[in-house]
Amino acid sequence: MTASLSTRSRAAAVVLAVASCLLRAQTSRGDLSSNYDGQLTINKPPANLTANGTLTQMSKVMTGTITVNMPEPTLTGTFSVQGKTNGRRFRLRGKNSAGAKFLWAGKVEAGGPTGRVWIWTRGLHRRGTLAFVLPGAGGPGGSLFSQNCVGCHGGNARGLVGPDIHCNKSIHDTVRNGRMGPLGTMPAFTALTDSEIASIQSFLDGLCPVSNPTDLFASNCASCHGSDARGLVGPDIHCNKSIHDTVRNGATGALGTMPAFASLADADIAVIQSFLDSLCPAPTGPELFAGNCAPCHSSNAAGTAGRPNIQCTVRSRIFNAVRRGRGSGLMPIFPASAMPDSQVDQLVAYLASLCSGLPGDRFASNCATCHGATAGGGRNADNIFGPNIRCTGTNDFLEKVQFGSDAMPPFPELTATNIGGIAGYVHQNFCPLGG
């Protein structure tokens, strides 16, 4: 009985979520910004003609261009238009290069703006109707989008009560499994087949033929990371300098799991990186840490499950990890072209401000990744073995840490006093466990 009630509760929640989207969709059609195909029907003499246009909406103001193919040379061509909309109705007017005038007014339907149109110049008047639809709206993907997505994401997929997805390049996992986000919960669409989801993806691709930084970020990242990339349910990434590997492969961090965006081309990821770079032209140490390190190592650098404490990590090891990465993609590579040495030094300085200087913290940040949290031996993310050092003599500590040994690098930044403190910490806390 309990299981049955739980199942009914989940089903009711999904129904309520979808109903809420549809109810809100009836009061507003959202942003009309998009590229459109159109059908122009002239009353006298009767004619069915093609049209297309690009509209941009900022609040209630609309601007754009509309191209019509009229039989009369002075009435044909591209009209620059401007006007207003209240979300339900619109009115646009403008002129073409020949001075002909254009007036279009009507309703904002689910598929796009539709209404009566007047095109005229001195001694020549034509009127009829003009209906705009999104590219591909009449195909299978457009139909599936209208049936399953338009209520929350808007007729042009630029967001309504759900986020902007018109340039989303990898919808499959979200559609199949659902997702919780800052705007609410999207239910899983288990009844849609993979081929149907692929058709919706093709429809969205048609709405975003030319990728630009703002649209790609808005459609693929903003719902988790915020429109300013400073974090929502996902982390602050506005100063992230190397997103490629994480976007391509996904990642699990302190705030949860980010899916892989396998359908985003390398060029698209580079465009998103350029958008983030524009948000962070002169990063500070704390910003660099928040955008590049905190998602895995936690906001105070104390580490998370599977990710080490780096509060007291020495400069040479930070540089090594940043430049080489760790664990075949576990930690991405940050090349100097993305994060120059000066910015790595800013990270080093910020981490130093978090370091207590206590021997236990120095051990956690510099030794535990290879030798284990209790110094009993282990392997790091690169599968390099670190032996049991619980009862290793202080002189051996000094020699190995100062000069390195086999696969172990030297730690030149650690003084003899620092190393002696680490040795004492290990002896006192772990040698009784067995050497």
Per-residue pLDDT of the chain (435 residues; tens, 9 = 90+): 334 434 444 444 444 444 444 444 433 446 788 889 999 999 989 999 999 999 999 889 999 999 999 999 999 999 999 999 988 899 999 999 999 999 999 998 866 899 999 999 999 999 999 999 888 777 889 889 988 998 888 878 888 888 899 999 889 989 999 987 777 789 999 999 999 999 999 999 888 877 789 999 999 999 899 999 999 888 999 999 999 989 998 887 777 788 888 888 899 999 999 999 999 999 999 999 999 999 889 999 999 888 899 999 999 999 999 999 998 778 889 999 999 999 999 999 999 999 999 999 999 999 999 999 999 999 999 999 999 999 999 999 999 999 998 889 999 999 999 999 999 999 999 998 765
Domain residue limits at 60 = 34-133
Query: How far is residue 205 CA from its own chain's centroid?
Result: 17
Does a structural domain hold residue 120?
A: yes
Domain assignment present for 57: yes
User: Residue 406 sits in a domain of what CATH number?
Assistant: 1.10.760.10
> Can you give the pTM of this predicted structure?
0.69
- Tell me the CATH number at 80: 2.40.128
pLDDT of residue 434: 60
Among residues 80, 103, 133, which one ends one of the domains?
Answer: 133
Express each pLDDT in 402-417 by its tens digit.
999 888 999 999 999 9
Residue 50 lies in a domain: yes
Flag whether 393 is in a domain: yes
- Domain assignment of residue 327, yes or no: yes
Q: State the pLDDT at residue 154.
A: 83
Residue 101 domain flag: yes
Residue 168 located in a structural domain: no
Last residue of a domain, one of 133, 149, 184: 133
Is 252 among the domain residues? no
DSSP collapsed to 3 states, the chain: CHHHHHHHHHHHHHHHHHHHHHHHHHHCCCCCCEEEEEEEEECCCCEEEEEEEEEEEECCEEEEEEEECCCCHHHCEEEEEEEEECCCEEEEEEECCCCCEEEEEEEEECCEEEEEEEEEECCEEEEEEEEEECCCCCCHHHHHHHHHCHHHHCCCCCCCCCCCCCCCCCCHHHHHHCEEECCEEECCCCCCCHHHHHHHHHHHHHHCCCCCHHHHHHHHCHHHHCCCCCCCCCCCCCCCCCCHHHHHHCEEECCEEECCCCCCCHHHHHHHHHHHHHHCCCCCHHHHHHHHCHHHHCCCCCCECCECCCCCCCHHHHHHHHHHCECCCCECCCCCCCCCHHHHHHHHHHHHHHCCCCHHHHHHHHCHHHHCCCCCCEECCCCCEECCCCCCCHHHHHHHHHHCECCECCCCCCCHHHHHHHHHHHHHHHHHHCC
Q: How many domains does the chain have?
A: 2
Q: Which of 113, 133, 153 is the last residue of a domain?
A: 133
